Amino acid sequence: MTNATAIGAPMKSITTKALVVVVIAAVFALAIALGGRVIAQQIVSGLMLGAIYLTVAVAFTLTIGVLNFLNFTIPSLFMLTGMIAWGLREKGLLGFAGGWAWLVALIAGVVVATAASLVVERFTFRYLKTRHGDATEHAIPLVSSLGFLLIFEHLVILTLGSESQRFSVPFKADIHLFGLVIGAPQLVSLGCALLVVAALTFVLKHTRMGRALRTIAENPEIASLLGVEVTRVVPVLFLLTGLLCGLAAALFTVNYGDVSPFMGDHVGSKAIAAMVLGGIGSIWGAILGGLVVGLTETLSIHFFGGDSVEMIIWGLLLIVIIVRPRGLFGAVAVGKGKL
């Protein structure tokens, strides 16, 4: 397993990767040139949607890259943030915060999601470290996380109801630029997402914790022989997962103003698609994948109607998996090992 080559490491063969980016950018530039302002507006919304997807995709790719664990609780952490934030405001628990109640609510949501993620760590990793030596063992944490998905989703339905709810923010600022409408919160969210991911890349590359994570990605047993305390480093990963999901959900809630117990399912599956498209275990791949999926979504709605989105994105993904299983940026060995 050489996952560490992908996690946070500088991209190898920059030229081919730059080529991929340039080709994708060229396709969209062509679309703008042919389609004019309407298409340009679609691309702007696609990038904003992509910012949400890429943040969640980075959370997915981190857990897979380091632990080879497809964490199915990620959609429910996303949902928890939104629903907890709405629930706190709805039950009138945030009267003290005045005009800032929306922000306090969202921060509380992120905190709850992060705490939930740490609970998940206990049951999917801390208590499950024994290896049973058969081919489906990589499914054990996956199954456990599916269990948590059910628990979180239905606990929220039980306490807060299953309807879609409105989460309003007290400002509405659209920027008009070259005749395009760009929502200020959307712009902030794109910046926020990219900033967090850039910071994460730096942490993985240059800090002690980052090096520990990359060592575990390479080989957990050798990592612990070399003095990495696996039981102390792995929770950090789940902490990051919770924070990234919480951030994405907060941005989503502010942008689109809707929360529901099922809001995570849609975003989660798109983020999985984004991660695979970019290459499992590669952070930059997840970023590119997130943006491509966001753009594909808005453009296919524009051209082929709303029902076509799932089919186009998953069809694209199926083709990518079959033709180039490691995705656009992924390292060869990732996801092929047994761990």
Partner 1 sequence: MSGYASGIVAILCINLIFAYAVFITAAAGQLNLGAAGFQAVGAYAAASFSNLGWTPGWATIPAAMAVSGLTGFLLAFPVLRTKGVYMVLATFAFGEVVSGILLQTSLFGGAMGMVVPDYLPLSSLVAGAVFATLLVFFLMATRFGLALRAIHDDDLVATVMGVNVRAMQVAVFTIGGALAGLSGALYAHHFSFVEAQYFNSTLSIFVLLFVLIGGTQTAWGPLAGSLFFTLVPETLRIGGSWRFVIFGAAIVLMMVVRPEGMITRTLVARFRRRPAAVKPVAITVGEPHVR
Residues that bind partner 1 (CB under 8 A): 64, 68, 70, 123-124, 127-128, 130, 132-144, 146-151, 153-155, 157-158, 269, 272-273, 276, 280, 307-308, 310-312, 314-315, 317-318, 321-322, 325, 335-338
Q: At closest approach, how far in Å is the CB of 60 from partner 1?
A: 10
Kindly report the CA angle at 136 between 132 and 138, in degrees rounded to 5? 80
Which residues, other chains included, contact 232 with Cβ-Cβ below 8 Å and sequence gap of 6+? Answer: none
Q: 9 vs 151, which CB is nearer to partner 1?
A: 151
Please, are residues 21 and 289 in contact by the beta-carbon 8 Å criterion?
no
Amino acid code (one letter) for 310:
E
* Encoded tokens for 126: 């801390």
Smallest distance from the beta carbon of 208 to partner 1, in angstroms?
A: 28
> Of 23 and 135, which CB lies nearer to partner 1 in the complex structure?
135
Residue 211 one-letter amino acid: R
Comparing CB distances to partner 1, the nearer of 2 and 308 is 308
**C-beta of residue 197 within 8 angstroms of C-beta of residue 54:** yes
Residue from 179, 174, 173, 188 nearest 41 by CA = 179
Q: Determine whether 10 is exposed, middle or buried from the number of CB atoms within 10 Å of its CB (0-12, 13-18, 19+).
A: exposed
Q: Nearest distance from residue 304's CB to partner 1, in Å?
A: 9
Nearer to partner 1, 208 or 324 (CB): 324
Q: How far, in Å, CA of 225 to CA of 8, rounded?
A: 22
Nearer to partner 1 by C-beta: 103 or 301?
Answer: 301
Describe the chain by its helix, strand, coil percentages, rounded to 5. 75, 5, 25
CB of 230 to partner 1, least distance (A): 18
Cα-based angle 190, 191, 196 (whole degrees, multiple of 5): 100
Cβ 7 to partner 1 shortest distance, Å: 15
Residue 192 or 262 having the CB closest to partner 1: 262
CA atoms within 13 A on the CB side of 254: 29
Pick between residue 9 and residue 312 the one whose CB is nearest to partner 1. Answer: 312
Quote the least distance from Cβ 302 to partner 1, whole Å: 17
Q: How many CB atoms lie within 10 A of CB 198?
A: 12
CA distances from 14 to 176, 194, 283 (A): 35, 20, 15
Closest of 338, 239, 328 to residue 291, by C-alpha: 328
Whole-number minimum distance, CB 47 to partner 1, in Å?
A: 24
Q: Judged by CB, which is closer to partner 1: 112, or 250?
A: 112
Residue positions counted in the chain: 339
Compute the least distance from the CB of residue 318 to partner 1, in Å: 4
Distance in Å, CB of 151 to partner 1, minimum:
4
Nearer to partner 1, 149 or 250 (CB): 149
